[in-house]
C-alpha cells in the first residue's frame, strides 16, 4: 500500500479515536453535573424537611471560589505607598516586619499580618463633592477595589474586594475631614497576587448546606429561614508563611448571621 494512503488511514483512525475520547469526557462531565445538581436539590429538600425555608434561586449552582494563598510582597507594598502618596517614597524598617514609607504627602505603614494605616496631608487628597465616590476613586488608583460599607460621622468604612468577591476581613476606616482624606486608620488590606492553593479543596454545595444546618445546631441555635447567602473570603496570616484566603459563605437567617467555611464545613456566628 502506498505510504500516502497508509498515512491517511492512520490520520483517520487518530481522528476517530480523539472524537470518541471527546464524547466520553463530555458524557462524564454531563453525568457529573447532573449528579451535582441532584445532590444540591436533595440538600435543599433536606433543609425544608427540617423546617428551614430557603429560596432555591439564592443557592449557588456550584462552588466558584477556590482556596487561595498570597505571599507578602514588600516591593508591592512600596509601589502601593508610592501610588497613594503620589511620588517617590523613603522606606523605613521599624522592626518586627513593620515597614513605613513616607514623603511630603504623608506616611503609610504595613505590618506582616496585613495591618495597614496611613497619615496623610489633607491638602494632597481632596475628595470632591461626593466623598464616598472620591474615596473609592482614590483607593482604586492605588490598586484597592472595594465598597463603602457604612458612614460613621465623617468617616467611611471601606471593605476590599478581590475580583469582585468581598474580603470580609480586609477593611479600613477612611478618615475624612473638611472634604479631604486625612488618614486611613489601622485595619487590614491585601497586597499581592493571590494564587490557587492546590493543597486545599472546597466542599460541594450539597455538603455545605447540610454542614450549615448541623453547625447551627451545634452552636445551640435554631433558624427557620435563610434570607441571604454572600460568598467571599476570610484571611489568616502566618508569621512565617503566606496569607491564606479561605472561601466562605456569609449566611443571613431569621435568627442571626453565620459564616460557613467552605473548606472545613465549620460554622461560626458572624459579627
Quick count: other Cβ atoms within 10 Å of Cβ 166?
A: 21
Angle between helices 3-49 and 205-218 (to 10 degrees): 30
pLDDT of residue 38: 87
Cβ neighbors of 102 (< 8 A, separation 6 or more) are 85, 89, 90, 92, 108
Report residue 4's pLDDT band, with 50, 70 and 90 as the boundaries: low
25 vs 220: CA distance, rounded Å: 45
Report residue 103's pLDDT band, with 50, 70 and 90 as the boundaries: very high
Using the predicted structure, report yes or no on whether residue 164 has a pLDDT greater than 80: yes
Distance spanning both ends of the chain, measured CA to CA = 78
pLDDT of residue 152: 86
Using the predicted structure, report yes or no on whether residue 212 has a pLDDT greater than 90: yes
Rounded average pLDDT over 113-119: 92
Which burial class, exposed, middle or buried, applies to 115 when counting CB atoms under 10 A from its CB (0-12, 13-18, 19+)? middle
Of 10-19, 47-56, 202-211, which gets the smallest average pLDDT? 10-19
Minimal CA–CA distance to 230: which of 266, 270, 190?
270
Rounded average pLDDT over 236-257: 90
* Helical H segments across the chain, by residue range: 3-49, 74-85, 131-142, 205-218
pLDDT of residue 18: 61
Report residue 222's pLDDT band, with 50, 70 and 90 as the boundaries: very high
pLDDT of residue 107: 97
Using the predicted structure, report yes or no on whether residue 30 has a pLDDT greater than 70: no
Rounded average pLDDT over 86-98: 93
Using the predicted structure, report yes or no on whether residue 137 has a pLDDT greater than 80: yes
pLDDT of residue 17: 63
Rounded average pLDDT over 108-118: 92
Rounded average pLDDT over 238-243: 78
pTM of the model: 0.84
Angle (nearest 5°) at CA 269 between 161 and 52: 100
pLDDT of residue 247: 98
Amino acid at each position: 500500500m502506498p505510504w500516502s494512503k497508509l498515512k491517511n488511514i492512520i490520520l483517520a483512525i487518530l481522528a476517530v479515536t480523539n472524537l470518541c475520547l471527546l464524547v466520553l469526557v463530555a458524557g462524564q462531565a454531563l453525568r457529573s453535573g447532573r449528579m451535582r445538581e441532584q445532590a444540591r436539590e436533595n440538600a435543599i429538600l433536606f433543609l425544608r424537611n427540617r423546617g428551614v425555608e430557603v429560596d432555591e434561586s439564592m443557592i449557588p449552582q456550584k462552588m466558584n471560589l477556590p482556596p487561595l494563598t498570597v505571599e507578602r510582597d514588600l516591593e508591592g507594598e512600596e509601589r502601593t505607598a508610592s501610588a497613594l502618596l503620589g511620588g517617590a517614597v523613603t522606606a523605613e524598617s521599624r522592626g518586627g516586619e513593620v515597614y513605613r514609607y513616607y514623603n511630603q504627602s504623608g506616611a503609610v505603614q504595613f505590618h506582616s499580618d496585613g495591618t495597614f494605616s496611613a497619615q496623610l496631608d489633607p491638602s494632597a487628597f481632596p475628595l470632591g463633592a461626593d466623598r464616598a465616590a472620591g474615596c473609592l476613586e482614590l483607593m482604586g488608583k492605588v490598586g484597592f477595589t472595594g465598597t463603602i460599607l457604612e458612614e460613621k460621622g465623617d468617616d467611611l468604612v471601606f471593605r476590599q474586594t478581590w475580583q469582585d468577591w468581598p474580603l470580609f476581613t480586609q477593611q479600613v476606616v477612611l478618615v475624612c475631614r473638611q472634604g479631604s482624606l486625612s488618614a486611613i486608620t489601622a485595619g487590614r488590606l491585601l497586597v499581592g497576587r493571590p494564587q490557587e492553593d492546590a493543597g486545599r479543596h472546597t466542599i460541594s454545595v450539597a455538603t455545605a448546606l447540610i454542614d450549615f444546618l448541623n453547625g447551627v445546631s451545634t452552636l445551640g441555635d435554631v433558624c427557620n429561614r435563610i434570607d441571604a447567602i454572600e460568598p467571599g473570603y476570610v484571611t489568616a496570616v502566618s508569621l512565617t508563611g503566606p496569607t491564606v484566603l479561605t472561601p466562605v459563605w456569609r449566611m443571613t437567617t431569621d435568627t442571626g448571621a453565620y459564616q460557613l467555611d467552605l473548606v472545613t464545613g465549620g460554622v461560626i456566628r458572624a459579627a
